[in-house]
Amino acid sequence: MDNNMDNNSNNIIVLMVCPVSNYLEQEIEKSFKVFKLWHFEDKEQFINTHKDSIQAVVGSAAAGADAELIESLPKLEIVATCSVGLDKIDLARCKEKGIRVANTPDVLTDDVADLAIGLILAVLRRICESDRYVRSGEWKKGEFKMTTKFTGKSVGILGMGRIGTVIAKRAEAFDCIIGYNSRTEKPNLNYKYYPNLIDLASNCQILVVACSLTEETQHIVNRQVINALGPKGVLINIGRGLLVDEHELVSALLQGRLGGAGLDVFEHEPDVPEELIGLENVVLLPHVASATVETRKAMADLVVGNLQAHFGKKPLLTPVV
């Protein structure tokens, strides 16, 4: 760990707005004083008491720094999120106020891509369902059902950023045909670009949602997109719950207008629509796409590294703003 910091570094106060990992807490506490917002019953009172001393906020995919929090912390200098997603941070406000923002890109790209492929295989090959079939003793009564081949299928990727690109590369190893939709076409990519998401959905069997959540992309996967994907189509979401109109998704699955889904994210985590719980053509994960020992450590190290860089007056490791 970088020790080139002020002697007074231990006086710098960091507010963690949600639990992330024991490791991250321990590491931040080595260099900073940490307040954990979830420990306080009356959060408003806590903020009022400490607002003039909090200089940094650490968040995650679960919680960040919205306009209200930013406005209530006049000494806030940096928001460091233990996530690549920035949807829980009011970036415009941070920019306006000169507050730095740092996230954790790249270190989690592989794990998220791996999970996307894992979800595709779990849904198409019914791996979770077949595991239950064995555990419950059903196999003794008869063979498991037929499933759907993955190799050679057409995969559509919504969002060809860092994560989308790596997902495409992995799918290529399965001889999949790749198409994508993105805000702009990417040069030097051998995949077919679909400027219209509905067209992409009509032309692929598996649609992977890998774009970031912004005001523009909320519910970008809507009823029309889901219908275009169709009764044999599978939706995989490793982005953010709000990218998909969850209500429409549930209705499409219940009515058989969509063939299946693999979801790591939901609109109101940790709540999952009750109707999905009984569906065997759906695999549900509790937002774990970056949840490996190795990656969580790398993410935490980046958060701490960014904090230390900022307060050590050095360039941020992974700045956003």
Could you tell me the smallest distance in angstroms from the CB atom of residue 190 to other proteins?
Answer: 15
Catalytic residue status for 240 = yes
Check residue 255 for interaction with other proteins (CB under 8 A): no
Residue 254 within binding range of other proteins, rule CB under 8 A: no
Least separation, in Å, of the C-beta of 22 and other proteins? 5
**177 contacts other proteins (rule: CB under 8 A):** no
- Cα–Cα dist 2/168, whole Å: 36
Contacts 24+ apart (CB under 8 A), 286-289: 287/61, 288/115, 288/264, 289/108, 289/111, 289/112, 289/115, 289/116, 289/238, 289/264, 289/265
- Residue 310 found at the interface with other proteins (CB under 8 A): no
Does 96 qualify as catalytic in the annotation?
no
Phi/psi at 180 (5° precision): -150, 160
Catalytic residue (choose from 27, 129, 246, 287)? 287
Q: Is 269 in the active site?
A: yes
287 binds other proteins per the rule CB under 8 A: yes
Closest contact distance (angstroms) between CB of 95 and other proteins is 28
Q: Binding of other proteins at residue 111 (CB under 8 A)?
A: yes
- Of 240, 248, 296, 310, which is the active-site residue? 240
How far apart are the C-alpha atoms of 23 and 301, rounded to whole Å? 9
Bridge-partner residues for 192, per DSSP?
Answer: 179
Query: Of the candidates 1, 67, 92, 288, which one interacts with other proteins according to CB under 8 A?
Result: 288
The reply on whether position 140 binds other proteins by CB under 8 A is yes
Query: Smallest distance, Å, CB 198 to other proteins?
Result: 26
Of 174, 189, 198, 219, which one interacts with other proteins (CB under 8 A)? Answer: 174
22 binds other proteins (CB under 8 A): yes
Separation of alpha carbons 13 and 251, rounded Å: 46
207 scored as a contact of other proteins (CB under 8 A): no
Task: Give the DSSP per-residue string, 26-86.
Answer: HHHHHHSEEEEGGG-S-HHHHHHHHTTTEEEEEEESS--B-HHHHHH-TT--EEEEESS--
Distance of alpha carbon 37 from alpha carbon 18, whole angstroms = 7
Contact between 110 and other proteins by CB under 8 A: the answer reads: yes
Q: Which residues are catalytic?
A: 240, 269, 287
